[in-house]
Amino acid sequence: MTNAGTSRRRSIGAQRNPESQQAILKAAEAILMEDGLAGFSIEAVARRAHAGKPTIYRWWPSRAALLLDVYHHQKHVERVPDTGSLETDIIAFLTALFGYWRDGNAGAIFRSVIAEAQTDVKATDALRAYVLDRFSQSAEFVRRAQARGEAADWVSPELAIELLAGFAWNRLLTSRLDDNPEELQRLARQISLGLKG
């Protein structure tokens, strides 16, 4: 999948070498698995990946940015849902997100990044960039609903996703990720039909 010969110039001016980038991400994942969040530091990742700290910092400006990349890489199972209906897409989106956060360490990783973002401006920047990118990706299923005529043209797909994500964050951050299909159904209905019903 990687071909270092074709590596392109990126914004900062640093060459991201795909192989060492992958090696760093793999090292970061391994450290998270073995030592947990407490053992996760740029220093530990550098040691394990046989990379220099400056190399890591050139690509990931903060521990939070690297954590978010690991978090997102693990999340490759999650795709933008496409069940053919807006209401069931909403349910699928939330069910997948809750499940992902509950199983394994993804929920704990994301919670720790959010916590760090409340005191560390670099972490806030990394988190904000990450969520804005995710919102615009996930908004795809609302755009599809618009194309099908299931959602009005004046609706903002990004705002719709932000509402869903905000709801999910609140559940995560207050440890309320229990499955409640009936509740998610009602929520999806409230969002797609609106409060007027």
Q: How many CA atoms lie within 13 A of 11 on its CB side?
A: 3
Distance in Å, CB of 21 to its own copies, minimum = 25
State the Rg of the chain over Cα: 19
DSSP 84: S
Tell me how far apart the alpha carbons of residues 187 and 63 are, in angstroms, rounded to a whole number. 35
Nearer to its own copies, 6 or 174 (CB): 174
CA–CA separation, 51 vs 53, rounded Å? 6
Decide if residue 150 touches its own copies (CB under 8 A): yes
CA-based angle 58:37:164, to the nearest 5? 85
Ramachandran quadrant class, 140 (left: phi over 0; alpha: psi -120 to 50; beta: rest): alpha
User: What does the alpha-carbon distance between residue 43 and residue 56 come to, in Å, rounded to a whole number?
Assistant: 9
Nearer to its own copies, 23 or 163 (CB): 163
Contact region with its own copies (CB under 8 A), list: 7-15, 24-32, 65-73, 154-162: 154-162
Question: Interacting stretch for its own copies, rule CB under 8 A, among 15-23, 67-75, 96-104, 160-168?
Answer: 160-168
We find the least distance from the C-beta atom of residue 114 to its own copies, in angstroms, to be 6
Residue 92 engages its own copies in binding (rule: CB under 8 A): no
Give SS3 for 140.
helix
Residues 32-91 that bind its own copies (CB under 8 A): 86
Task: Output the CA–CA distances (angstroms, integers) from residue 69 to 21, 57, 86, 110, 145, in the order listed.
Answer: 11, 13, 29, 11, 29
Cβ proximity to its own copies, 73 vs 186, nearer residue: 186
30 touches its own copies (CB under 8 A): no
Interface region with its own copies, contact rule CB under 8 A, candidates 16-24, 39-47, 92-100, 145-153: 145-153
CB of 17 to its own copies, least distance (A): 30
Among 53, 79, 115, 148, binds its own copies (CB under 8 A): 115
- Of the CA atoms within 13 Å of residue 73, those in its CB half-sphere come to 16
Q: By C-beta, is 16 or 72 nearer to its own copies? A: 72
Q: Which residues bind its own copies (CB under 8 A)?
A: 86, 111-112, 114-119, 124, 127-128, 131, 142, 145, 150-156, 159-160, 162-163, 165-171, 173-176, 183, 186-187, 189-197
